[in-house]
Amino acid sequence: MFKRILIANRGEIACRIIKTARRMGIETVAVYSEADRDALHVEMADDAVLIGPPAAAESYLLADKIIEACRKTGAEAVHPGYGFLSERESFPRDLAKAGIVFIGPNAGAIAAMGDKIESKKAAAKAKVSTVPGHLGVIEDDKQAVKIADEIGYPVMIKASAGGGGKGMRIAHSKAEVAEGFNLAKAEAKASFGDDRVFIEKFIVDPRHIEIQVLGDKHGNVIYLGERECSIQRRNQKVIEEAPSPLLDEATRRAMGEQAVALAKAVNYDSAGTVEFVAGQDKSFYFLEMNTRLQVEHPVTELITGIDLVEQMIRVAAGEKLALTQKDVTLTGWAVESRVYAEDPFRNFLPSIGRLVKYRPPEESSANGITVRNDTGVQEGGEISIYYDPMIAKLVTHAPSRAAAIEAQGQALDAFYIDGIRHNIPFLSALMHHPRWREGKLSTGFIAEEFPKGFSSRAPEGEAARRLAAIAAAVDHVFGERKRQISGQMIGRPVTRQHRRAVWLDREEIGLDIVRNEEGAIVVRFVGADGKAGNPHTLVSSWVPGQPVWHGTLDGVSLAAQVRPAANGIRIAHQGYEVLANVYTDTEAEAARLMPVGTNADTGKKLLCPMPGLVVSIAVTEGQEVKAGEALAVVEAMKMQNVLRAERDGTVKKIHAAPGATLAVDALILEFA
């Protein structure tokens, strides 16, 4: 077994690998760019080496810098994680020449499967069912349109060396093919240094299901069940689960055996994933093979009890797999949410900055429920513009799918982040979406259920009453604390009114609130007749200063994020984010007389929706534009975002030029 390994990666996956290596008694070496000097993976590793400037192309993507770091620190092997050099065929060859072991598949397997075009050819040769498409390299947008016309719309344009949703576009028309082809090539070049793309038929209403395979250097290959990754946005996975609610045992076995046959055909000898696109009728087609550890590997680990990083390390050291196929059993259900630094209320645009507060839910395993948080950040750390916007992967495991989803929802409600925008409100809302809970999934789920994007929702009914009760309970505790302040003047005893008016934004809910003899807070909602209804009991040990309220409401466990505000709190729970003002009757009377403020109209301006680099400006001053027409392209976190006109108009003045780096809400152009 290795004594010391180097992790050629950063962020949460580097931290994840370090944890397993530490448990195995193996020393670790981290590498870092100048932007990651204070990163968590650098702090966790036994040793760390600076390898270059912030840009990945000048640091994490340079194999010679990695090899030099190995020589400097005495690392015997390299784990590449995912992304960066993990699927570059030349990397294991370069390591081998330097006498360093690659913790991953052999270079031949990467060459056969890592390239999406070549992998489809290999799959077709192995008689694996594949999606109709053109597997050759496409020279220009005219050829792309011709091929798309032959295949039939819609089509998928994909980067050959791609992954993580980069360099991928769905096109429904000739115009979308031409535009998508050029954008996919540009993203592929920027992210992977390889601008080749191919086109295939896009299966309507598909599901994304993948099989985890594991091989050794002695010819043994097994599969570890499946993961469903159908909840995607812009072709990037958002939520994953294992197993899939679609598959039965016969389909699972058929997909698994096909994945193993394909892996054996290319002498696969590590952890890898064979991805399939599946129809609602359980038909399936080979999509691609990822010759590396997957982002979503934790859900497989939790339902199988197998540490995939440990298996990769043991296999790389020459050990035989200790497991056979019949040893693999799937227990319970696991759900993973990807927590990203992006603003769901502004079309998921990237958010960068300092993590002023970072308080994830506590990792635990009790009463059949496991909560796991794989992260690469810590409080006070910086979310950089240079890398992927992932903050953490929150994973829950339970005996059933419903229980795993419930646990995930509560864990998300308890995940507190300040300083940047993040997608936790969206993830939390998804956990309570009826279609998700029923398992009626497709890769179009988010586009279909949120056609206008995700926006702030006004809580109604039970959700509104629940938020009002928590807000009133928090305000009540604040009031009790204030009356305990020492040095107050002696005078007439203060008798506190029981009646409160809770405003959720402008929606008013009346209630009575008291603390009973057992120490619990009791709330009674007031009806239209002014009479208080049935009692609802809240039990919590929350004290002012804690960012998350944990407790029970009528015996049901709840968590809500609470931030102090004037006369109340800003509360986030189950995807709702509202300002809850808690008033006495007298205060409420005055509040009702206050005018409602309105935001200034910015409809005549195009503002930069996130910090980023202006790649191009598509219009000129004086030009007339139609709604939906492209105005500019801004790049952030390796993604190119097309900014379009929201209405017809004439460009009055352009304020930004290509190559400019803009802050969020910076003015790009204005209309007449």
Q: List, by residue number, the catalytic residues.
A: 288
Could you tell me where the beta strands, DSSP code E, fall in 202-340? 207-215, 221-233, 236-242, 271-278, 284-290, 333-340
Classify residue 54 by its DSSP letter.
Answer: S
Residue in the block written with tokens 């993507």: 61
Backbone angle region of 478, left / alpha / beta, with phi > 0 → left and psi within -120 to 50 → alpha: alpha
In three-state form (DSSP H/G/I as H, E/B as E, the rest C), the secondary structure along 31-53 is: EEEHHHCCCHHHHHCCEEEEEEC
* C-alpha to C-alpha distance for 406 and 565, rounded to whole angstroms: 29
Give CB contacts under 8 A, 24+ apart, made by 451-455: 453/344, 453/347, 453/348, 454/344, 454/345, 454/348, 454/425, 454/426, 454/429, 455/345
**Residue 397 · residue 370 · CB < 8 Å:** yes
Question: For 232, phi and psi rounded to 5 degrees?
Answer: -130, 155
* C-alpha to C-alpha distance for 209 and 296, rounded to whole angstroms: 12
Distances (CA, A) of 264 to 28, 59, 666: 31, 34, 53
Residue 203 corresponds to which amino acid?
A: I
SS3 of residue 319 by DSSP = coil
Query: For residues 484, 486, 492 and 496, what is the CA-based torsion angle, rounded to 10 degrees?
Result: -20
* C-alpha to C-alpha distance for 91 and 82, rounded to whole angstroms: 13
